[in-house]
Structure 1
Amino acid sequence: MTLPTLEDFFEPLILRAAHYSHRQLVCVDQDLATVLGGFDETQPPLIVGNTEYGLSWRQAHQKLGQECGHIVVEVNAQFNAEAFCAIAGCCRAGALIVLRIAALDNEMPPSVQRLLRCLSEDDSVAFNCHWLHRLPQQRPAKHQTHSVTQDDAIAAVEKVVTGHRRRPLLLTADRGRGKSAALGMAAANLMMKKPRRIIVSSPSPAHASTLFHHLKATLQIDDAGQHIDYQGSQIRFIAPDALLQDAPAADLLLVDEAAAIPLPIISQWLNQYSRVAIATTEHGYEGTGRAFTLRLKQMLDVEQPQWRTLKLTAPMRWADDDPVERTLNALFLLNGDDVGSDQTDMLETGWVNDMVIEPLSRQQLYRDEACLRQLFTLLIAAHYQTSPNDLARLLDDDAGLIFAGWLNNKLVAACVVSQEGGIDWQTCHAVVAGQRRIKGHLFSQSVAAHLGLAEVLHDRLWRVQRIAVSEPYRQQGVGQRLLATVNKHAAEASVVGVGVSFGATAVLTPFWFKQGFKPVKLGLKRDQASGCYSLQMLKPIQPLNWCDQALRLFRQNLPIQMLTSHQRMETDIAASIIAGLPTAPLSEEVRQQIDGFVAGGVGVDAALSSLQAWLYHHIGRVQKDDENATLPILVSRILLGLPWSVVCTRYQLAGKRDAESRIRNYIQIHMTT
């Protein structure tokens, strides 16, 4: 069969895409020059994945939030799913997204082979290849319910200020709906009506750039930066840590990309500010933050029961029911239903022991699309952000191991593990000396460099990448059983230890301590995805001297870190880390000074070292039911070293004398613990 020229093939596809205000996916296998010749010279496509003629994958990912026309994407072993989703989201209606298959099938990694298989089974995708030629099928028009538009979102944000206090707004949207733009335009409208003080916070200034761009466009100003004064109104960006620390007065707090900000910080903001609008992305080109949204809603139900929500649904660059959006969501499993929808009411006592835990191979996942969907949906529901590249790694990573927990033929839990270490001594010493980095081995390299010990990288370790349990099955020992199985297989494989790195929270940290893991390193900066400090822990499978050394060094460094680099750590998280550490008996001189402090003969600042020692000792023994509102005051001043003014403001105390009195009374009551 003679195939039509690409120009003849592309032209009707472009016309139809423009007619329906949709985009169109096309797969071809011709050489690049032939593909480019299929486009009108006046509308040349953007080439992606080919640094000689177009954008690298990194450059393509940086286009997120911008707009473009046709694109030609190179599909080969270097294909980057996350960057592809990002650049596809930049294409306007009427554009072709052409996937040029630039390598043989057996030269592709499994994730790309799966991608091509799924595309060939999707009749909305056009093909002009030697092995498949077809035009896309026109699906029946989907009945559209009322779409929530950007104007609806703008009005809802404005009502946060003009309506009742203590009714925060949660604005959710898939990427490409104009959520950040709506925040900026609403802020501009409010500033034009009367003088107002508005604060914007997001994980970084870059995350707020779209908001400020549309704010300036609406105000018709050219001011640079993110601190703007306009006719008596003021709007400025403040980083999350600084906002929590300083808590300046404001008429409105706008929080954008909230999924990358820890929930405890958002909770404190909601207490500090009476008018708050929070925006977060659920399904994005770069992944999904749906699990965060669920947790945020649960928190709002408890702390702000009058909260309101609005889901922005109308896309900005294309019409509803765009076939490309539908295909990409299905292809990268970004719209899967929550596996945790099952109920456990009918489960018999001891059901956890009936759960079958077994390794799940990459070959099984490649062959069984339903199993892959269950696994990835489970991971999405359990983690803040999950991206298309995470899906690719499940299929491609030779060092990856997966342990799946099955109950009644349903996947209810999973643990993804990476094999690390086993590196030759010469490379180990070069890494520790800072002379080179090796691909992968994230935990081993980090700890080896931290301790200055090549032995860490030479030893064979496993690292828990992700552990997920379906919602109805949590808090019943499933995670503990999963890790016990991982430890058993690790021992059989002569692995010396199992490590984990996670964003430390007051819930997660005690879990890992309970499983026998020991802290070896605390990150100096908050993780971009979770918004928490990264905590690295290790469970020795065999006796490990360097693990004991790491624990002693961790315990030695922690008091200094909390007074300096981690001064803004949440008090409950700080306490959860301290609670798992070994403690030594208090010395006689420390006890004497504590007695003097309780008697009133010495103040907090003069007895700070002794109070720190006592508090470390006390936190490790205090029962959760015994905690009260005063303990965070002690942690804030004694362990984190926050200024008295900040402590008094945060806990609504009359002044330093009031704060010291509460600290003294607390210690007097708990002297024997």
Structure 2
Amino acid sequence: MTMTPNSFLNTLQNTATQYHIRFPVFIEGSIDFSLLLINCCNNVTLVSNTLSDALPWWQVKKFLGQETGSLALDIRQGMDVEKLCALVGCVRGGALLFFILGTDLSLCPSRFYQRFMRFFRHPSTAYINEDGDVHLPEFCRYSTEETIRSKNVLTSTKSAGITLCQSQAIAAVEHVFSGHRRRPVLLIADRGRGKSAAMGMVAQSILQSGKKRILVTSPTISNVETVFKHAAANVPCRRENKYRLVFNNDSVLQFVAPDALLRELPKCDLLLVDEAAAIPMPMLDRMVVKYSRICFSSTEHGYEGTGRAFSTLFRTLLNEKTKGWKEIKLVHPVRWEEGDPLENWLFDAFLFDVEPTFPSGCNDIDIRIIDQDVLIQDEVLLRQLFGILVSTHYQTSPNDLMPLLDDDSMSILGAYSGKILVGALLAKQEGGDDMALASDVVMGKRRIRGHLLLQSLAFHTGIVEVLSSPLLRISRVAVLKQCQQQGAGSALISALERIAKACGTFMVGTSFGATPVLLRFWLSKGYRPARMGVQRNAASGTYSLQLVKYLIHAPHWLDDIFTLFSTNFLYQVSEQFENMDACLVAMLFTNMDADALLLLKPERRQVELFAHGVLGYDLVVGSLVIWFKHWLMNRDREYTYDLECLLLVKRLLQRQGWEKVARQYGCQGRRDTEMMIRDWISQHYCQ
């Protein structure tokens, strides 16, 4: 199709304005041509790291929680998919989203960009190049509004300025405020569905009804600006500062950061938690316990990239901690019409709407290598693979799609049940670096991109040789829930180990947020702990644990790695890890070498006297600690720890106070707790 640039733009802009929709517009050509075309539109915000008078990419998060008009994104030097998706959710209906592509795109070696180029001429997109080649969206080819409506391209869902879903959400939050305690509501939506606006509207209604106090929390205050905006709309109130809105009846809407909320526990009549998926699960757990009237909201698809895995985990938490909680899913868009071309394109291009295919059964699992060159040509396989990753992991970012296609150091294995992919393993090649580079890494002068496991081990132990050894790091093992506990995960790991040995890579490692279930699984596969991070993961609230397994012969430095881990953990358990899961602590001790800790005869004698009631706890606490550590180290990896054993972990190893331990394990104070310790040790002293 041939059109003049002005005619092309007028057609797009008029159609977008008339139907309150958005179009993605791809411009291929010189930068002068691109800017000339963009400047024909009014009030376009330019995002670029190289062009003058442009907003740099690192600042785009300033748009979050706000609406914006047309944007032009310069992606000639690459793009951050996560930030791109964040911007899409801010563009309001009637606006255009331009992509500045540059020239010679066909020469780009990136598989990700090869696939991305296929979406330049998507049914929902507009495309123009400097030679006059033009592609209009399918939407613009419909001649009349009647035709558009009859094809179900657009569906109006608004009434009196709000959608039906928003009305349902408002009613649900009002019920949380006025109904029975501990009946929270969870609002789930894709981007742009008005969940923050709904929370602002219901906050306004409640705050006007009497002197009330509503707290709103979120990872950043910019996320809740929409809540404040709608709470303040057309009513007498004043914004004292960016954190606090005060009504004429002295009601207050106030922002409190999640950590401050849980530290100070301020009182309120209602707590609103916006973008809950970006808050660590342990913090959400405490909010559920500490506050009796809560509304949670979360983006199921969108820039947060948490997807359905978060929703599943959080629903489990609510089922355990509350009764009668309610979920409202907001499906109708607010900032644009349903059937919006830009959103349709976004979901297809970045796989936001992927749903894995489930087999009728999971028998006869077959493991196959998935080649990235094949993956880029097989959209069905790519969608199934990404769907598995999204549905089984707490956080999956849109940025994860790029390395999946482009990272040549990545190995991808698929577990098939018949023709259906039911599981996948992702692994990356690390190590094999020269000693000079390795020395710089150990000294903190250099970092090696992508070598996360070996680089961490080398830096934290000071052993330079670690980085010279090749290793395959397993970054993800994902299996559909219906096919878990049936050997697919184990088969994937075994297959990777065989591939590693065949390629001359004699070590495999992994890193994950440690839980007793995961640790037991990996220990059963012969992997040994090598390092544990001392800070909890912001997303999962777990400590990151690194494990290593040698397949043929161990490098000479590996025993030093294991020794250092054991040596430090013996002391860290009562300081850095004093609040770690007791079962996890016990399992880590069980995996240590008992020969590393001497248990002498005088210490054994003291423990025996304590067990017989001759000596008190305060007189023998050192001997008890050494004996208990030694006892754990001599357990089999499959050993199951009883309640009393875990009580000893909390008191003897993690050094938690008597009152706290007694309360946690149902004892009546110190005397009762000490008696439980004495009885358990007397039963297990000779084991």
Deviations 1:151-188 (A, max 9, x none): 53343233223212332322212233343454466556
Distance in 1, matches of 2:601 and 2:570, equals 21
Shift of the 649–389 alpha-carbon distance from structure 1 to 2, 3 Å rule, reads: same
Structure 2 vs 1, CA of residues 627 and 496 (structure 1 numbering), >3 Å: closer, same or farther?
A: closer
**Aligned-residue offset at 1:646:** 4.4
Task: Give the equivalent residue in structure 2 for 1:112.
Answer: 113
Q: Answer with 20-29 or 228-237: which moved more.
A: 228-237
Contact 2:124 2:344 (C-alpha < 8 Å) held by counterparts: no
Q: 1:443 to 1:296 in 2, by over 3 A?
A: same
Residue 376 of structure 1 aligns to which amino acid in structure 2? F
* Equivalent of 2:239 in 216, 221, 224: 221
The residue number in structure 1 matching 2:145 is none
Amino acid at match of 1:158: E
Per-residue CA deviations over 1:609-653 (Å, capped at 9, x if unaligned) read 444444445556499896555555444443333444544565666
Letter in 1 for 2:300: E
**For the Cα contact (< 8 Å) 1:173–1:283, is it kept in 2?**
yes
Q: State how far apart, in whole Å, the 1-side matches of 2:285 and 2:455 are.
A: 35
SS in 1 for 2:327: strand
Paired position in structure 2 for 1:152:
168
1:324 aligns with 2:334: no
- Distance in 1, matches of 2:587 and 2:217, equals 27
Shift of 1:369: 1.0
CA contact (8 A) 1:228 1:236 kept: no
Alpha-carbon distance between aligned partners in 1 of 2:603 and 2:196, rounded to the nearest angstrom:
54
Distance 1:234 1:427, change over 3 A: same
Letter of the 1:47 partner, please give it: L
Q: 2:88 aligned with 1:88, yes or no?
A: yes
Q: 1:265 to 1:83 in 2, by over 3 A?
A: closer
Deviates more, 1:47-56 or 1:423-432: 47-56
1:169 paired to 2:169: no
- Aligned residue for 2:50, secondary structure, equals coil
Residue 241 of structure 2 aligns to a residue whose secondary structure is coil
Give the distance between the partners of 2:672 and 2:223, measured in 1 at CA: 39
2:563 is the counterpart of 1:552: yes
SS in 2 for 1:152: helix
Larger radius of gyration: 2
Aligned to 2:328: 310
Partner of residue 397, structure 1: 407
1:483 and 2:493 equivalent? yes
Q: 1:133 to 1:93 in 2, by over 3 A?
A: same
Partner of 1:594: 607
Instruction: Rate the CA distance shift 1:186–1:3 in 2: closer, same or farther, 3 A.
Output: closer
1:72 aligns with 2:72: yes
Looking at structure 1, the residues matched to 397 and 197 of structure 2 have their Cα atoms a distance apart, in angstroms, of 23
- Tell me, in whole angstroms, the C-alpha distance in 1 between the residues paired with 2:266 and 2:660: 12
What is the deviation of 1:459? 0.9
Alignment match, 1:568: 579
User: C-alpha separation between the residues in 2 aligned to 1:197 and 1:656?
Assistant: 40
8 Å contact from structure 1 (residues 185, 214) kept in 2: no
Superposition deviation, residue 525 in structure 1: 1.8
TM-score by length of 2: 0.86
Question: 1:291-322 deviations in whole A, cap 9, x for unaligned?
Answer: 12123324444554522111122334222222
Q: Secondary structure at the match of 1:38?
A: helix
Q: Is 1:277–2:295 an aligned residue pair?
A: yes
The answer to whether the 8 Å contact 2:48/2:74 transfers is: yes
Conserved? CA contact 2:189–2:331, under 8 Å: yes
Decide whether the 8 Å contact of 1:300 with 1:307 is kept in 2.
yes
1:404–1:626 CA distance, 2 compared to 1 (3 A)? closer
CA contact (8 A) 1:254 1:277 kept: yes
Aligned partners of 2:214 and 2:573: how far apart in 1? 31
- Post-superposition offset of 1:242: 8.2
Judge conservation of contact 1:199–1:237 (CA < 8 Å) in 2. yes
Counterpart residue number, 2:143: none
Residue 404 of structure 1, CA deviation: 1.2
**Aligned partners of 2:239 and 2:613: how far apart in 1?**
59
Q: Deviations over 1:488-509 (max 9, x none)?
A: 1111111131111111122222
Q: Secondary structure at the match of 1:331?
A: helix
Cα distance change of structure 1 residues 273 and 644 upon mapping to structure 2, 3 Å threshold? farther
| Change in CA separation of 1:608 and 1:494 when aligned onto 2, cut-off 3 Å | farther
- Root-mean-square deviation (CA), in Å? 3.5
Aligned twin of 1:56: 56
AA paired with 2:240? Answer: D
Could you tell me how far 1:558 is from its partner in structure 2? 1.6
Matches within 5 A, 1:430-509: 430-509=440-519
Deviations 1:370-403 (A, max 9, x none): 1111111111111111122111111111211111
Alignment of 1:12-23 (within 5 A): 12-23=11-22
Partner amino acid, structure 1, of 2:516 = A
**Correspondences of 1:284-433 after superposition (within 5 Å):** 284-339=302-357, 341-344=358-361, 351=363, 354-433=364-443
**CA contact 1:378–1:469 (8 Å) conserved in 2:** yes
Q: Tell me the residue number matched to 1:237.
A: 256
Displacement of 1:60 in angstroms is 2.8
Tell me which residue corresponds to 1:641: 655
Which has the higher mean CA deviation after the structures are superposed, 570-579 or 486-495?
A: 570-579
Q: Structure 2 vs 1, CA of residues 610 and 162 (structure 1 numbering), >3 Å: closer, same or farther?
A: farther
Question: Pairwise mapping of residues 524-563 of structure 1 onto structure 2 (< 5 A)?
Answer: 524-541=534-551, 542-563=553-574
Letter in 2 for 1:311: K
Which residue identity lines up with residue 128 of structure 2 in the other structure? N
Distance 1:624 1:187 in 2: 52
Aligned 8 A contact 2:203 2:231 in 1: no
Q: CA deviation at 1:11?
A: 1.8
Decide which moves more: 174-183 or 514-523: 174-183
Counterpart of 2:480, as a letter, is: S
Distance 1:515 1:487 in 2: 11
- Deviation for aligned residue 1:57: 3.1
What is the distance in 1 between the residues matched to 2:245 and 2:611? 47
Asked whether the equivalents of residues 82 and 285 of structure 1 are also in contact (C-alpha less than 8 Å), the reply is yes
Alpha carbons of 1:170 and 1:671: their partners in 2 closer, same or farther (altered >3 Å)? farther
Pairwise CA distance, 1:412: 1.2
Deviations 1:183-225 (A, max 9, x none): 46655655565666766665x4558654875598476332355
Shift of residue 662 of structure 1?
4.2
Query: Are residues 292 and 544 of structure 1, via their aligned partners in 2, closer, same or farther at CA, if it must alter by over 3 Å?
Result: same
* Residues in 2 aligned to 1:275 and 1:459: alpha-carbon distance in whole angstroms: 54
Q: Following the alignment from structure 1 to structure 2, what is the Cα–Cα distance between the partners of residues 507 and 168? A: 29
Q: Can you list the C-alpha shifts for 1:6-26, whole angstroms capped at 9, x where unaligned? A: x32112211211221111111
Task: Tell me how far 1:271 sits from its aligned partner.
Answer: 4.7
Name stretches of at least 5 consecutive residues in structure 2 with no aligned partner. Answer: 140-147
Give, in whole Å, the separation in 2 of the partners of 1:603 and 1:310. 57
2:195 and 2:270 mapped to 1: Cα distance? 17
Partners of 1:402 and 1:194 in 2: CA distance: 59
* 8 Å CA contact retained: 2:385, 2:424: yes
Partner of 1:127: 127
Which stretch shifts more, 41-50 or 457-466?
Answer: 41-50
Inter-partner Cα distance in structure 1 for 2:156 and 2:231: 33
Q: 1:262 to 1:27 in 2, by over 3 A?
A: closer
Further displaced range: 367-376 or 602-611: 602-611
User: TM-score, normalized by length of structure 1?
Assistant: 0.87
Name the aligned partner's letter for residue 25 of structure 1. P
**Distance in 2 separating the partners of 1:185 and 1:595:** 67
- Amino acid in structure 2 at the alignment position of 1:381: S
Residue 237 of structure 1 and its aligned partner are, at CA, apart by 3.3
Cα pair distance change 1:624/1:442, threshold 3 Å: closer
Q: Any conservation in 2 of the 1:227–1:237 contact (CA below 8 Å)?
A: no
Distance 1:432 1:375, change over 3 A: same
